[in-house]
Amino acid sequence: MTRIQDTVEAVAAAVIEQKDYLTALDAEIGDGDHGLNMARGFEAVREAMDELGDESRPGPVFKAIGEALLENVGGAAGPLYATGFLKAAEACDDETNFSIANVEKALGAAIKGIQARGRAVRGEKTMLDVLIPVYECFIPENAGDKTLFQCLAAASLAARDGVAYTKTIAATKGRASYVGERSIGHEDPGAVSSMIMFRAMYSYLKK
């Protein structure tokens, strides 16, 4: 496998390893199936990477991930994550490489797609409370003269802080919105799975 597919494998392994933890989080304020769904989805992602073959361009990789998640992940998270990866794929071309500007472009497109599909904004106890702070680490005014890995390090901390923030607010979207104020004090499972994916990518690339 090429480097990008090795990175995807590291992300898939991290999500699958945290299946029980994600399920336990979701059982507190949701349907209790987030971990199971995400693990099933990333098993399918692994298969999609094998079928994709030797691919070094991010666009086709993102597209394959999105399609695998769309077909295999149930609940609210599946279509949202699938949309994010598919929109990121559309933002790439054959010349796209791993740079600050391209991370900003692809992640920005993913977030817009997720916001439109989920009709959600930041501050509603969703994956956006992690994804948007991560994205903001790559925009020019925050990236400044930082290197790519300095931006990734900052984004890793932003992901952690985003998850912590979800504990302080009530859910207004998804199944967790049914428990309203009682969701305060609980981490949002989608935010946690977003953090797991990003931090697994960062940990792998740091090696």
Write the pLDDT tens digit of every residue in 73-123: 877 889 999 999 999 999 999 888 889 999 999 999 999 999 999 999 999
Please state, in angstroms and as integers, the Cα–Cα distance from residue 161 to each residue in 73, 130, 149, following that order. Answer: 26, 8, 18
Q: What is the largest CA-CA distance in the chain?
A: 48
Q: Does the structure show a pLDDT above 80 at 1?
A: no
CATH code, 3-206: 1.25.40.340
Helix (H) or strand (E) holding 2: none
At 189 the pLDDT is 95
* Per-residue pLDDT tens over the stretch 152-205: 999 999 999 999 999 999 998 777 777 778 889 999 999 999 999 999 999 999
- 123-159: per-residue pLDDT in tens? 999 999 999 999 999 999 999 999 999 999 999 999 9
- Domain edges within the chain: 3-206
- Flag whether pLDDT at 37 surpasses 90: yes
What pTM does this model have?
A: 0.94
CB neighbours of residue 156 within 10 Å: 19
In angstroms and rounded to an integer, the radius of gyration of the C-alpha atoms of the chain is 16
